[in-house]
Every structure is written in C-alpha cells, then in structure tokens.
Amino acid sequence: MKLVLLGAPGAGKGTQASFLKNKYNLAHISTGDIFRANLKNNTPLGIEAKKFMDNGQLVPDNIVMNMVGNEIENLNNNNGFMLDGFPRTIPQAEFLEKIVKLDAVILFHVPDEEIIRRLTSRRMCKNCGSITDNNHDKCPSCGGELFTRDDDREDVIKSRLKVFHEQTEQLIEFYRKKNLLIEINASGSPEEIFARVVGFLDHDKN
Ligand code: AMP
C-alpha cells in the first residue's frame, strides 16, 4: 500500500502514521523528521533546510524532491510506505506521480483554531521524538525530556498555516480529480480518528 498523508501542520499526520505503521507494517517517510534529523547532525542539508523551517516557509522543491526520490529508491519494505509531509506543492505532486503509483491520499481535516491550540501546546520528546502536550512533564512513552519545536511558536505557526492554505491545499483538488482522495474528520481522540481511517482503507481493499 502506498499512501500520502495530507493535512495542515498539527492535523495529526505523524500520530496516525505511527498507528498505520503498526497495523499495516508500512514504512513511514516524514520529510519534516528527515530535515530535523539532518539538523541535529549538522549536515549541509539540515543547515540549508533550517533557513526555511525557522520561518515556517517551505524548503525549495528541488531539495525536497531529491531527498524523497532517494528515500523511496532505497526503501526495502514490500508492504509499502506512507509519505507524511510530502508532497506540499503541485510540482512535488507531479514529481511523485512520475516515480510512484499511489493507492490513496488521506486528507485530515481540522479547523484552524484547533490547529493553533494543538500546536501551541504541542511538546516533542528529545529522546524518542514522540508527540505529546504541555499537560506532561516527561515523555509518556519513554520518560524523556520534552521540548517545544522552534517552529511551534505562535508567529511561525501562523506562517505555516498560511503556506498550507496557499500552496498545499491545491493538492486536495489535484488528488480529488484523480479519485485518490479519502477525507477524514480529524477532530477527536487519535484512536477515534484512526478507526475512521481504517474504516476507509479496509473498505477500499475489499
Ligand atoms: P513538518 O514536520 O512536516 O511540519 O515539517 C517541518 C518543516 O519542514 C516545514 O515547515 C518545512 O519548512 C519543511 N518541510 C517538510 N516537508 C516539506 C516539503 N514537502 N516541502 C517543503 N518543505 C518541507
């Protein structure tokens, strides 16, 4: 199964990706996570990406496409994969079309006010990268220290949402026309949202 997870930042794509990974044994390719790992290791790619990430802007298409092309080429998971955070622009989607035949694009719908509320209270674990919120002092998964991502500040969140509405939202129509779009109401608990996703995916398979 080859999936794209589409939705605004904070729509819960990463959380749903980890559920999907467990249930269907899919590889999880998150462009944001790859950039953050590169940043942590101070690679040239990470240093370049940081200039854009810190302002909530998109990293240029050619850099991201090159990176994703390599990831897909080097993948060794026969069950397939899900792309989380890619594509985000029409040129990225056109590039993807040339290298992969997708089975579905899952769109997670969340109102903007809820996105802002979720992202301003979001915390990430320094140790395992899990996402939680400011109701916790330590990571609920591993006990690691929690921090606020640089791009989860309110001013940066607003730019990220603007970029989503101006550029990434165009992909909704792009994939709807190709009959690939699955639309999910992504308000509610992560478990409720996952049940909706599975309902669609398992129904589509039969
Ligand atoms: P995310 O964790 O998916 O919210 O991504 C964090 C940041 O990484 C984004 O705000 C962008 O600066 C950059 N990024 C991730 N994926 C892409 C992409 N497909 N195209 C351009 N920039 C990206």
Structure confidence at residue 205 (pLDDT): 57
In the reported structure, the alpha carbon of residue 192 is separated from the centroid of ligand 1 by a whole-number distance in angstroms of: 26
| 107: pLDDT strictly greater than 70 | yes
Residue 119's closest CA among 9, 6, 2? 9
Query: Is pLDDT of 206 > 70?
Result: no
- Residue 178 pLDDT: 97
Catalytic residue among 36, 88, 123, 196: 88
- Nearest-angstrom CA–CA distance, 112 and 104: 24
Per-residue pLDDT tens over the stretch 18-76? 999 999 999 999 999 999 999 999 999 999 999 999 999 999 999 999 999 999 999 98
Q: Whole-prediction pTM value?
A: 0.90
Q: Closest by alpha carbon to 59, among 24, 79, 40, 87?
A: 87
CA distances from 195 to 99, 106, 132, 155, 186 (A): 30, 13, 20, 33, 11
The predicted-structure confidence for 5-17, as pLDDT tens digits, reads as follows 999 999 999 999 9
Give residue 124 CA to ligand 1 midpoint distance, Å. 16
Of the chain, the end-to-end C-alpha distance in Å amounts to 14
* pLDDT of the residue at 179: 97
Residues contacting residue 92 through CB under 8 Å, at least 6 positions apart: 61, 64, 65, 68, 86
Whether residue 143 has pLDDT greater than 70: yes
Q: Are 124 and 130 in contact (CB under 8 A)?
A: yes
Tell me which of 36, 118, 160, 196 is the catalytic residue: 160
Q: Over the chain, what is the mean pLDDT?
A: 94
Q: Which ligand 1 atom is at minimum distance from the Cα of 53?
A: 12
State the average pLDDT over residues 171-192: 96
Cα(17) to centroid(ligand 1), Å: 16
